[in-house]
Amino acid sequence: MFEQKPKARRLGWAVVGCGWVARDYVIPALQGASNARLVALCDANVDALLRIPADDVARYTALGSVLADKDVEAVYIATPNHLHAAMTEACAAAGKHVLCEKPMAVTPRDGLRMVSACQRAGVHYATAFDQRHHAAHRKLRTMVKEGVLGTVTQARIHYACWLPADWTPDNWRIDPEQAGGGAMIDLAPHGLDLLEVVLGDEWASLTAMTQRRVHDYAVDDGAVLMGQFKSGTLGMLQVAYNCPDAYPRRTLELIGTKARALAYKTMGQTPGGSLSLTDARTGEETWIHLSPEEDRSPFLHQVETFSTCVLEGRPQPYAPERDVRLVGLLTQATQDGKAYPSCH
């Protein structure tokens, strides 16, 4: 008679903030993860809670109830940006691990508060940079590390969307108090993080220009960020809320002395897209194949990576102090950069 193996332990998760990203991507990832289980949902909006298709899950309207739930071991914070710091501190004080949506905080001071709280409590903290978990981006990182592209001279990301004021009934992303900014603070953190991860490098400088060009709201609807990495590679990010969704608008390009890499439609919440290399000598373009086992939901890979580190007592892949540095870099670029007045 064969001895039955014990079931692998799964980390108990709560999701706080049940907006569209949590509903469509984070919660399905938690439900499908091999080492995680969804045990609780929390949102002040009862209707948002009821829209989530999840059986046998506790539903709360206050964070305090989540923190009192003994089945909750980790919390995914997906609330408006201005709530991240206080919620992370509360979770840490209750002994809960934290995976927080980007940007981790509106200011570097708030980011330091979050990191300090988690360190004092001995809990894990990570920022939810799902882009680094996309299979194409992980493959690209390996190719850069192995020298497939040669010396990378320039890196460019175009990550944009169309986001009018009435995009949702309560569009907090265009509220300066809740979001801390507009397109730049919402979209640029992904690219800032991703280029460092893919290049295995660190931003040394960053400048920014913002615009209020199309939409009549109080925050920027577009921005361009330019900077240099410690290695000397130049980087550029184009982000926008004023780019029609029908346009090609989600590209990552690395220019190297041996090859150019182009990832198309990989920036975003879903797997898929394409990755190609263009040979510097022949100009021939080769498509990089990703197996179905590799090309899974980036949110699923993110949840499983975080949970593995907690369950096995290993540090998260990237120290949270790095995330604070990126917030500081973006904050400084915003303060030093040029902001052009609205055309309205």
Give the tens place of pLDDT for each residue, 166-177: 999 889 999 999
The reported pTM is: 0.95
Percent of the chain with pLDDT over 90: 90
* Residue 174: both structure tokens together: 């265009």
Give the amino acid at 181.
G
C-alpha to C-alpha distance for 200 and 142, rounded to whole angstroms: 10
182, pLDDT greater than 90: yes
Cβ atoms of residues 84 and 76 within 8 Å: no
11, pLDDT greater than 70: yes
pLDDT at 55: 86
Which residues are CB-contacts of 312 (< 8 A; sequence separation ≥ 6)? none
C-alpha to C-alpha distance for 87 and 32, rounded to whole angstroms: 26
C-alpha to C-alpha distance for 275 and 14, rounded to whole angstroms: 34
In 3D space, the residue among 291, 267, 261, 317 whose CA is nearest the CA of residue 147 turns out to be: 261
Give the amino acid at 161.
C
CATH of the structural domain 11-128+300-315, one choice from 3.40.50.720, 3.40.190.170, 2.130.10.10, 3.40.50.1820:
3.40.50.720
pLDDT by residue (tens digit) across 57-99?
A: 999 999 999 999 999 999 999 999 999 999 999 999 999 999 9
pLDDT at 194: 98
Q: Radius of gyration over alpha carbons of the chain, in Å?
A: 20
52, pLDDT greater than 80: yes
How far apart, in Å, are the Cα atoms of 261 and each of 13, 256, 258, 274, 295? 37, 8, 10, 10, 18
Cβ atoms of residues 195 and 152 within 8 Å: no
85: three-class secondary structure by DSSP: helix
Mean of all residue pLDDT scores within the chain = 95
pLDDT by residue (tens digit) across 188-218?
A: 999 999 999 999 999 999 999 999 999 999 9
Sheet holding 58-60, edge to edge: 58-60, 36-42, 11-16, 74-77, 97-101, 125-128
What is the dihedral angle through the alpha carbons of 251, 255, 259, 260, rounded to the nearest 10 degrees? 20
CATH 3.40.50.300 fits 131-290, yes or no: no
255: three-class secondary structure by DSSP: strand
Higher pLDDT, 337 or 192: 192
How many CA within 13 A on the CB side of residue 237?
Answer: 32
Length of the chain: 344
Q: Where are the domains of the chain?
A: 11-128+300-315, 131-290
